[in-house]
A and B are shown apart, each in its own frame.
Chain A
Amino acid sequence: MNESNGRSRWKLVLVMALAFLRGIRRREEREPIVEERGGDRRAEMVVALLLLAAAACAVMFVVVYALDWDNLTQWLGLCLGASLLLIAAALIYAGETFVPTEELVEEYPAIEHPEEQEAIEQIGRESVAGFTRKRLLVGAASAAGAALGIALVVPAASFGPFLDTESFYYSPWRRDRRLVDEEGKPYRAEDIEYDTFYTAFPEDAYREELAAALVVVRVAPDELEMPPGREHWAPEGIVAYSKVCTHAGCAVALYRKPLFAPAEPSPALVCPCHYSTFNPADGGSVIFGPAGRDLPQLPLLVDSEGELRAAGNFSAPVGPSFWGVRTRRPTA
């Protein structure tokens, strides 16, 4: 039993080998499509070397990673980049040299059943001709399409307040609210020195509000030129402005303060983003840059303890301009 089984297996192998050889012979008999050309051993060698170099770079990547060199990120990038570049070079070179190219043009087939095709076109024309309220149907279909489109777009309104500018008028400042520093310590009028600037926040209020942060500087009282109606907004020459630029909403974080005022540029609050420059002495007017309106000013008062408090709300809404920005003042 065993022996006959072994013999039949040998027979099977022989049959398969014959079939394989016949297959090869049959393939050889077919007409060649790709034009025969001599191999380019040199080019093949170059491509193989390039690919092996790419492999070496990739291996190097693993080695560098394992050894954890200094400047690891740069070495890893170098290895990976070199490997990819070498593969690209190998492919380009192979394409230019020994990979064969053929241009084949396939004829566009003639229409197989010209008469039937005409009949189908005729059916289409005659079916539509039977509709009596064509315009109504087209209109209704358009309405359905347009309404569906709008329905899909409308939820984008939940990305933010839409046509609702009310929140832009909100300010956490109100009369008698104290000005505190970053640690929450109240500012005293005597803390505010000349030639430097301070950042202040409202006491007991959320500091991330757009209108919370103030920039506070002291101007010599005889240099103040407050606009009409704001004569008492700057006790002892201390002025407070919103720290948010009216142009693009950056923090007005620079204070240009001449050491020798008679011969140098005037004092100014400057926004580092686009160099909008505001005059702290005259109510925050724009003296340079792209800002379109004055820096909003907060009226101040010094209480009986000598501490700085707000004497009301800002002269104008805080932050970049929006439609209606000039219509009213902010509310608490």
Chain B
Amino acid sequence: MSRRRKALLAAVLVAGFAAATVARAQPPSGIVHAPGGGKQKQLQLGAELYAANCSSCHGPQGEGVLEANNRGAGDITAQGPPLQGVGELAPDFYLRTGRMPLDHAGEEPERQRPLFNGREIDAITAYVASFGGGPKVPDPKPDYGSLSEGMSLFTEHCAGCHQIVGEGGYVTGAKVPPLQHATPTEIAEAVRIGPFLMPKFPKSQISDEDLDKIIAYVMTSKSPEDAGGFGLGHIGPVPEGMVAWLVAAVVLAGLCAVIGGRLSS
């Protein structure tokens, strides 16, 4: 490759990087806090926050936006599921874990620092629940759950994606979130909702008692015993085998060289 073509290629790469940086640097949709400093009645505050932050994707009456179309300021593709009948359970989960509001429709909602404060979350939750029907925020009692039964239920229903100690992982089309930061209420909510690509588990599949057991196991798995040293990420035989082959085998080979060194000299 000639020097001129190299220079040209470098220039193109630099320009591409610059363009990509600018594209990424565009601000996310952000949120709008209610005017009036939040001194309104709860439902009033909820309605104002909903109208400002949620309605472009979920519809003014929570009827959802099924066809993608461009709305509002910025390049936001507004699209989202209907919220009528989701009750308090779903908005409480999505807002308290910072999963909503989402930057772009269709991307995976991930846990982050919540953008609303506790009073605002309660207000939006109450307002969304007022669309009609739906479950209340669950109140799991993991202290009453059997740990060993919880582990076998977790293995059966959850570990296929979340891994046996709740480390998370990948499935086709989604990142599976780790469960280390989830509270008992959030776990109970997620099981009933089935966020993003997760299936939902109705009470006929996992009863409230079984859910208590599963949560008891997840809470325990947050601080595994790790007798004797590092947990190596708690994700099983692959990293353990890597340590055995890449560390122990190298040390052994080195020792052999030390012992055999005398024979060759």
Residue B66 CB within 8 A of the other chain: yes
Docked pose: A234 CA to B200 CA in angstroms: 21
Contacts of B204 in A (CB 8 A): 191, 193
Interface residue count for A (Cβ, 8 Å)? 35
Q: List chain B residues, Cβ under 8 A from A256.
A: 171-174, 197, 199
Complex CA distance for A96 and B79, rounded to whole angstroms: 76
A250 to B200, CA, bound (A): 23
Q: In the complex, A209→B255 CA distance in Å?
A: 51
A73 to B106: give the CA distance in the assembly, Å: 49
B135 at the binding interface (Cβ < 8 Å) = no
Task: Judge whether A262 is part of the interface by a CB distance below 8 angstroms.
Answer: yes
Assembly CA distance A256 to B197 (angstroms): 5
- State whether B172 touches A259 (Cβ < 8 A): no
Q: Are A264 and B199 in contact (CB under 8 A)?
A: no
A254 at the interface (CB under 8 A from B): yes
A264 & B196 in contact (Cβ 8 Å cutoff): yes
Query: Which of A30-38, A155-163, A265-273 forms contacts with chain B?
Result: A265-273
Chain B residues closer than 8 Å to A92, beta-carbon distance: 258-259
Cα A310 to Cα B249 in complex, Å, equals 55
Residue on B nearest A72 in the bound complex, by CB: B227
Query: Nearest Cβ distance between residue B220 and chain A, in whole angstroms?
Result: 18
Taking CB as reference atom, which chain B residue is nearest A256?
B197
Q: Is the CB of B198 within 8 A of A263?
A: no
Contact of A263 among B105, B173, B228 (CB under 8 A): B105
B201 touches A259 (CB 8 A): no
Those of B159-207 within 8 Å (CB) of chain A: 160-161, 171-174, 193-202, 204-205
Contacts of B229 in A (CB 8 A): 74
Docked-complex contact A258 and B196, CB < 8 angstroms: yes
Chain B neighbourhood of A95, CB < 8 A: 259, 262
Whether B172 and A73, one on each chain, are in contact in the complex, defined by CB atoms closer than 8 angstroms, is no
Chain A residue at minimal CB-CB distance from B201: A196
Q: Which A224-276 residues have C-beta < 8 A from chain B?
A: 253-260, 262-265, 268, 270, 272, 275
Residues from chain A with Cβ under 8 Å of B66 in the complex: 262
Q: Enumerate B104-152 residues with CB–CB distance to A below 8 Å.
A: 105-106
Cβ contacts under 8 Å, A197 to chain B: 199
* Contact A74 to B227, CB < 8 A, known contacts A254-B161, A259-B81, A262-B68: yes
Do A254 and B227 have beta carbons less than 8 Å apart?
Answer: no
Mostly, the B contact residues are loop
Contact of B227 among A71, A257, A264 (CB under 8 A): A71
Minimum CB distance partner of A91 in chain B: B259
Q: B192-239: which residues lie under 8 A (CB-CB) from chain A? A: 193-202, 204-205, 227-229
Q: Mark A190-202, 1 if CB is under 8 A from B, else 0.
A: 0101011110000
**Across the A-B interface, how many residue pairs have beta carbons closer than 8 Å?**
86
Interface 0/1 of A46-59, CB less than 8 Å to B = 00000000000000
Bound-state CA distance A191–B203 (Å) is 11
Let me know if B259 and A275 touch, CB within 8 A: no
Is A270's CB under 8 angstroms from B199's CB? no
CA distance A259 to B106 in the complex (A): 10
Contact B194 A257 (CB under 8 A): yes
B91 at the interface (CB under 8 A from A): no
Q: Give CA–CA (A95, B263) in the complex, Å.
A: 10
Interface residue from B161, B202, B227 paired with A73 (Cβ < 8 Å):
B227
A277 within 8 A of B: yes
Per-residue interface assignment for chain A, residues 102 to 117, with 1 indicating a CB less than 8 Å from any chain B CB and 0 otherwise: 0000000000000000
Q: B106 near A263 (CB under 8 angstroms)?
A: yes
> A137 at interface (Cβ–Cβ under 8 A)?
no
Min C-beta distance of B67 to chain A, whole Å: 7
Question: Which residues on the A side are within 8 Å of B193 (C-beta)?
Answer: 259
Task: Using known A-B contacts A259-B196, A260-B81, determine if residue A253 contacts B160 with beta carbons closer than 8 Å.
Answer: yes
Whether A257 contacts B197 in the complex (CB less than 8 A), given A193-B204, A270-B172, comes out as: yes
Say whether A65 faces chain B, with CB atoms less than 8 Å apart.
no
Chain B residue contacts of A262, Cβ below 8 A = 66-68, 79
Chain A residues near B160 (CB-CB < 8 A):
253-254, 272
Q: Mark A88-104, 1 if CB is under 8 A from B, else 0.
A: 10001001100001000
User: How near does chain B come to A74, taking the closest CB pair, in angstroms?
Assistant: 3
B46 at the interface (CB under 8 A from A): no
Task: Choose one: A101, A260, A265, A272; the contact of B174 (CB below 8 Å).
Answer: A265
Task: Tell me the B22-52 residues at the A interface (CB within 8 Å).
Answer: none
User: A193-B202, A262-B68, A263-B106 are contacts. A88–B255 as well, Cβ < 8 Å?
Assistant: yes
Task: List 29 A–B pairs whose Cβ atoms lie within 8 Å, in order of A's numbering.
Answer: A71-B228, A74-B228, A74-B229, A95-B262, A96-B262, A191-B204, A193-B204, A195-B194, A195-B199, A196-B194, A196-B200, A196-B205, A198-B205, A254-B160, A255-B199, A256-B173, A256-B199, A257-B200, A259-B193, A259-B194, A259-B195, A260-B80, A260-B81, A262-B79, A264-B173, A264-B196, A270-B172, A275-B172, A289-B172
Residues in A lying within 8 Å of B, measured CB to CB:
70-71, 73-74, 77, 88, 92, 95-96, 101, 191, 193, 195-198, 253-260, 262-265, 268, 270, 272, 275, 277, 288-289
- Report, nearest first, the 6 A-B pairs whose CB atoms are least far apart: A74-B228, A263-B106, A265-B173, A260-B81, A71-B227, A257-B199
